[in-house]
Amino acid sequence: MIVGLDTPPGQVMTDAELDALADPFAVLALRRGERPQSVDAVVALLAAASARPEFAASAVPERLSFVVGEGGQIPFTDATARLARALRFVVVLRGAAGPDGPPVVMISLDDRPGAGDGLLQILGWDPEKRAYNFYQRRQGVWFHSGDGTRALNPPTRMTGPFDGHVNGSLVMKELRQPWLHWQSQTVGIAREAFAPGHPIVNHPFFTEARGAEILETQVIVPGIRRWTKARLDSATDGGRIRGARTLFRQVVETTTVNLVASPTEFSLIDDTTAVTVPLEIHLNREFWTAADILDPLAIRGRTTVPGALYRAAVAELGVELREQRSGFARPGDSFFVLACPAPAFEDLDVIMTLIERGVLSRRFARALLAVDFANPIQSARRATLLRHFPDEGAAGTGDGSVEAAALASLAAAAAGSPGSVEAEVVARMEGDEAASRTALGEELAAYVAAVRARLATPEGAHDLVRLVASRRRYFRTLGVSEFDLTLPFSSEPEDADPLEMVADGTVRAAPNLIS
C-alpha cells in the first residue's frame, strides 16, 4: 500500500508488479512467494537464497548488526522498569560491490528478532529503478510502501515511510560522532540496559553488534550518495535538468535534520570543564568548510562554554530527560550534551553533487547559503528563495540553465525591493568572485568569534541552552522524532515561540521562523 495513493488496507500486488521489484528482498523472498514473519526468518531465508548461484546478482551474504536506544545509557532497575527506552536494532545485509554499489537490504526491528509482531521495516536498493524500495510487515501482511521517488512529490510526499525518509534516502538521525544513542567506538550499550533475562543479550544481533561508526561510513553515507547520484542521473536527460525544484529545495530549505552533540558527557562536567559546543548549532559547518567554498582557514578553532555557566543554565531552564508513559524524569542534559538538530548530510550531499555536476556554481551556492547563515536550519528567509527556481532548464550554469533563470528572477525581484533577501543574494553575485569569497569568509569568522565571546558569559550560556531547547521543540514536530527520550525537554512550553541566532552572536524570539 502506497500511502497517499492507495485506499487502506491496500491491494494485492499482481505478479507483474512483483516482478518489477528488483531489490534483494523482493528477488530472494517476495517474488519466490516467501513471506517470512520475523527478522530471524528474513535473515535465514535471504542467507540461504544468497548461496544459490542463480541469485548471485542479488546475493547479500554479509550481515552487520547495530544497536541503538534512547534509553541505552539508563540501566534497567525497578524504578526504570516501565521506561520506554526504545532499544532496537538495524541489520544490514549486503553483497559484493558492483558498478552501482553493492546489493543491500536494511532491516529495522525492535528487541525481539524472533517475533511475528512489532517493528519490522525493510528497505532494499533496486538496481533497475536505482532507488530504494520500502517494505513493512503489519499484522502478518507485507506491504510495499513505494520507492524513494515517491518521497519527492505530492500526494505521497511526507506520507507513510516518507514522513521520516523525506527525500527517499537512508536515514540515521545521529549520523556523526559521538553517535548519540548508538553503540559505537565512543560508548557501548550494556546488557544492563535490557530487562534481566532478556534473550536478546545472547542473540548474535547483540553479541556481534558493530559500532555506529561502521554504519555511518560503510552504509549510510555511501547509501545516501548512491541515491543522490541516481537522482541527478535521472534528472539529467538530453542536456536538460528536470525536476530541479526537488533538488534545489534541499539547497535552501531544511528538508530534514541530523542530530549533533558535544563529545562531552553530562555526568563528567564540573565547574572547570570547557564543554565543546558543536559548531553546527551556529553554522552549516560541513558546507562552509567544504573544499573551495571559503578560504581554508576562514573558520577554525574550537567553540566551548564554561562548565559552570552551562550547568547553571541547564538547571535554570529545567532541562531534563522525560518519558511520558512511565512518568520518568531525570534532571540534566542528554548523555552527550547539547544534542541538537542540525543540517542533514543528505541535503549537503545534494548541494555538493549539484556543484560537482556543474548545475550549481560555487559562487551561487555561497550566496544562497549566506542568507541567514546564523540559522543553519529553520530559516524562513532562505526558504523563500525556492520560488525563484524553475523546475526545468538547460544543464550547466549558462544561458537557459536553472541557475541562470533563478538569478534572473532574483535580480528582477531585487530591483523593486532594496534590502530584500533577493537583493542580498544578487549583491553577493556582483563584483570579483575572489574578493566576495574572502569578504564572506571574514563575515562568518567575525560571527563565530562573536558567538565564542558571548558563550564565555552567563547570558551567552543561557541563550545557548535556550536555543538548543528551541531547536529540540522543532525536532519533535518532525516525522523522524519517534521517542520522548530522543532529546531532553525544558521548562519552556512546547508551543513557545522559536528562537533564532543573530549575526552579532545573540539570540532572539522569531515567531515567523519555520516551526
pLDDT digits (tens, 9 = 90+) for 113-161: 999 999 899 999 999 999 999 999 998 999 999 999 999 999 999 999 9
- Asked whether residue 144 falls in the same domain as residue 268, the answer is no
Name the strand (E) or helix (H) holding 126: strand 120-126
- Asked whether residue 323 falls in the same domain as residue 291, the answer is yes
Percentage of the residues of the chain whose pLDDT score is greater than 90:
93
Report DSSP letters for 192-208, one per residue. Answer: GGSPTT-GGGGSHHHHT
State the pLDDT at residue 397.
96
| Residue 46 lies inside a defined structural domain of this protein | yes
Angle between helices 244-252 and 362-370 (to 10 degrees): 50
Give 321's pLDDT tier (boundaries 50, 70, 90): very high
Boundary of a domain, candidates 220, 253, 278: 220
How many beta carbons lie within 10 A of that of residue 512, not counting itself?
10
State the pLDDT at residue 100.
86
- pLDDT at residue 56 above 50? yes
* 3 state SS of 508: strand
Which residue has better confidence, 382 or 514?
382
pLDDT per residue as tens digits for the range 393-408: 999 999 999 999 999 9
- Asked whether residue 195 falls in the same domain as residue 251, the answer is no
State the pLDDT at residue 25.
98
- In whole angstroms, how far apart are CA 169 and each of 20, 93, 231, 421? 20, 17, 10, 31
- CA dist., res. 278 & res. 260, Å (int): 7
| Residue 141 lies inside a defined structural domain of this protein | yes
Task: Evaluate whether 279 touches 300 at the Cβ level (below 8 Å).
Answer: no
State the pLDDT at residue 201.
97
* Residue type, position 510, single letter: A
Report DSSP letters for 181-246, one per residue. Answer: TB-SSS----GGGSPTT-GGGGSHHHHTPPPHHHIIIIIIHHHHHHHHHHHHHHHEETTEEESHHH
Contacts of 7 (CB under 8 A, 6+ apart): none
Boundary of a domain, candidates 220, 247, 262: 220
- CA dist., res. 378 & res. 209, Å (int): 35
Boundary of a domain, candidates 153, 188, 220: 220
Domain enclosing residue 268, as ranges: 227-393+433-501
- CA dist., res. 318 & res. 490, Å (int): 5
- pLDDT at residue 456 above 90? yes
Strands 340-343 and 236-237: unpaired
Which whole number is the average pLDDT over 256-280? 98
Residue whose cell numbers read 532562505: 382
| Residue 512 lies inside a defined structural domain of this protein | no
- pLDDT at residue 330 above 90? yes
| Residue 406 lies inside a defined structural domain of this protein | no
| Residue 291 lies inside a defined structural domain of this protein | yes
Give 1's pLDDT tier (boundaries 50, 70, 90): very low
- Asked whether residue 274 falls in the same domain as residue 311, the answer is yes
Contacts of 256 (CB under 8 A, 6+ apart): 166, 167, 171, 344, 346, 347, 478, 480
- CA dist., res. 480 & res. 182, Å (int): 16
- In whole angstroms, how far apart are CA 283 and each of 287, 372, 508? 9, 10, 16
- CA dist., res. 9 & res. 116, Å (int): 19
- pLDDT at residue 8 above 90? no
Q: What is the DSSP letter of 357?
A: T
Which whole number is the average pLDDT over 407-433? 96
| Residue 513 lies inside a defined structural domain of this protein | no
| Residue 446 lies inside a defined structural domain of this protein | yes
- In whole angstroms, how far apart are CA 80 and each of 75, 195, 385? 8, 10, 48
- Asked whether residue 48 falls in the same domain as residue 186, the answer is yes
- pLDDT at residue 378 above 80? yes
Please choose, from the candidates 283, 323, 312, 318, the residue with its C-alpha nearest in 3D space to the C-alpha of residue 300: 283
- Asked whether residue 198 falls in the same domain as residue 151, the answer is yes
Task: Evaluate whether 222 touches 132 at the Cβ level (below 8 Å).
Answer: no
State the pLDDT at residue 155.
95
Give 464's pLDDT tier (boundaries 50, 70, 90): very high
- Asked whether residue 284 falls in the same domain as residue 185, the answer is no
- Asked whether residue 302 falls in the same domain as residue 382, the answer is yes
- Asked whether residue 163 falls in the same domain as residue 312, the answer is no
Task: Please state the three-class secondary structure of 301-316 as a single string.
Answer: CCCEEEHHHHHHHHHH
- Asked whether residue 167 falls in the same domain as residue 248, the answer is no
- pLDDT at residue 472 above 60? yes
pLDDT per residue as tens digits for the range 60-114: 999 999 999 999 999 999 999 999 999 999 999 999 988 889 999 999 999 999 9
- Asked whether residue 380 falls in the same domain as residue 491, the answer is yes
| Residue 507 lies inside a defined structural domain of this protein | no
Task: Evaluate whether 167 touches 153 at the Cβ level (below 8 Å).
Answer: no
- CA dist., res. 472 & res. 487, Å (int): 7
State the pLDDT at residue 291.
82
State the pLDDT at residue 19.
94
Contacts of 322 (CB under 8 A, 6+ apart): 328, 329, 330, 484, 485, 488, 489
Report the range of poorest mean pLDDT among 25-39, 253-267, 283-297, 471-485. 283-297
Number of domains in the chain: 2
Which whole number is the average pLDDT over 26-36? 97
- Asked whether residue 264 falls in the same domain as residue 209, the answer is no
Preceding omega of 9 cis (within 30 degrees of 0): yes
